[in-house]
Chain A
Amino acid sequence: SQTIHQWPATLVQPVGSPLSLECTVEGTSNPNLYWYRQAAGRGLQLLFYSVGIGQISSEVPQNLSASRPQDRQFILSSKKLLLSDSGFYLCAWRGDRGTNYGYTFGSGTRLTVV
């Protein structure tokens, strides 16, 4: 079965420090992968998605970047965090037509920038 792992679960970082959040999936190949952010009191905002190794689409211009160094690995990064980067970050994997394109979400990372 397909599983998705995301870490760390919580993170407190000072302003100006770098960030690296990692997401890996198991049980599937060539998945569509997504990074979402949820700010307090809001729905989810799509940040990046990737349809394959080295292929990254950015939905929103911001202080963050994403990379996909391996088929089942998706990394969210920042060189210098801002206070506004605080939020709940979710990685997701989208299934194919056989699953009605259903999404599976990681457990999330709560990032607090201080």
Chain B
Amino acid sequence: AQSVTQLDSHVSVSEGTPVLLRCNYSSSYSPSLFWYVQHPNKGLQLLLKYTSAATLVKGINGFEAEFKKSETSFHLTKPSAHMSDAAEYFCVVSDWGSNYQLIWGAGTKLIIKP
């Protein structure tokens, strides 16, 4: 069965420092993987997605993620955090076995310190 584990419920970084949000997944098939961001009281916005093309995926707002099959990981990174990055981030997996429905991680709240 498909599952997603976001290893940190909260991550706190200083503005201008790198961001790392960790995600591990379980999938029996070739998965598609996504990162979504949700700002307070707002809907969801797709940051980036991996769909079996290049393993390093670049998204919006300077974020990127690397698909590592051997480690079943899809960690989200950004070289330099900005105050506007403060939000909740969700790692999501989808594959043929789930009929392409989205399986969501519990989310990681990113806190940016000035």
Contacts and interface: CB of A to CB of B under 8 A. Distances in A.
Chain A partners chain B: yes
Interface of A: 34, 41-46, 49, 90, 94, 100-103, 105-108, 110
B114 interface: no
A102 B49 contact: yes
A101 B100 contact: yes
B41 A43 contact: no
B94 interface: yes
Interface residues of B, number: 19
Nearest to B104: A43
A43 B51 contact: no
Tell me the dominant secondary structure on chain B's binding face. Answer: loop
Contact of A100 (B32, B101, B106): B32
A101 B32 contact: yes
Given A42-B106, A103-B46, A105-B43, 9 more contacts: A34-B101, A43-B90, A43-B104, A43-B105, A44-B90, A100-B49, A105-B44, A107-B43, A110-B41
Contacts of B51: 100
A108 B43 contact: yes
Nearest to A43: B104
